[in-house]
Structure 1
C-alpha cells in the first residue's frame, strides 16, 4: 500500500466540483461554465472560477462549497479558490447539456 497516494488530477477535481450547485439556478457550477481553470501542483490545488453575476448573493456560499468539495477529495492539499471576473461569464460557457436544459441555442448566447 502506498503511504503517499497521488494527488487527484484536474479532471478528478472538476468531477468533484459537479457536486457544487448554484442554488439559485439549480445546476452544478461545472456545467454552468463557472469553473475556468484547475491546477494541481505539488501539495496545492488552485481553482479559478467566476459567478454568473458580480451581484450573486450566493457567491460566498458557492466558494465555501467549492473548498469543501476539494477538501473531501484531497484533504491533505492546500486549496486556493480565486474568484475572477474576466472573462465575464456568459451562457456560451455552459455545457451542451446545460444549454439544452435551459433551452439555449448557440446563437442565443
Structure 2
C-alpha cells in the first residue's frame, strides 16, 4: 500500500508542475484533476477544463504527459477530459483563490 500511495503522491507532485498558462496556477490547485490511475504503465488522468473548448487543452495535455512520463513507473499517459462535475472556482484550493484574488462569499 505504501508504494501505491507514494506513486499517487509523486503523480500529484508532477501535476503540480503543470501550470495553466492563462491563470498561472498549477492544475492541482485549480481543482482540474478529478482522478488518476495507473495500469500496466499507462497513467490515466481524469480532468476537466475551466471552459468547454478551452484553446489550450492540447498544450495542457502535452505538458501533463511530459510531467508524468518522468516517473519511472509511467510509460504512457492518457487524458480523459470530462465535463461532469462542471468545474467552478469553488474547486480551487485556498492557495489558488488567494493567488487569483478570488473571494468567495
TM-score of the superposed pair, with normalisation by structure 2: 0.85
Match of 2:101 among 91, 97, 103: 103
Kindly report structure 1 stretches of 4+ aligned residues shifted beyond 6 Å: none
User: 2-side partners of 1:80 and 1:55: how far apart?
Assistant: 19
Deviations 1:7-62 (A, max 9, x none): 76212101101111110111111111111101123433211011100121111100
Counterpart residue number, 1:92: 90
Q: Provide structure 2 residue ranges, at least 5 long, that are not aligned to the other structure.
A: none
Match of 1:38 among 12, 15, 36: 36
Aligned-residue RMSD, C-alpha = 1.9
TM-score of the superposed pair, with normalisation by structure 1: 0.82
Q: Provide structure 1 residue ranges, at least 5 long, that are not aligned to the other structure.
A: 1-5
Q: Which protein has the bigger helix share?
A: 2
User: 2-side partners of 1:69 and 1:36: how far apart?
Assistant: 17
| TM-superposed deviation, 1:105 | 3.1
- SS of alignment partner, residue 21 of structure 1: coil
- Count of equivalent residues: 102
User: 1-side partners of 2:56 and 2:77: how far apart?
Assistant: 20
- SS of alignment partner, residue 51 of structure 2: coil
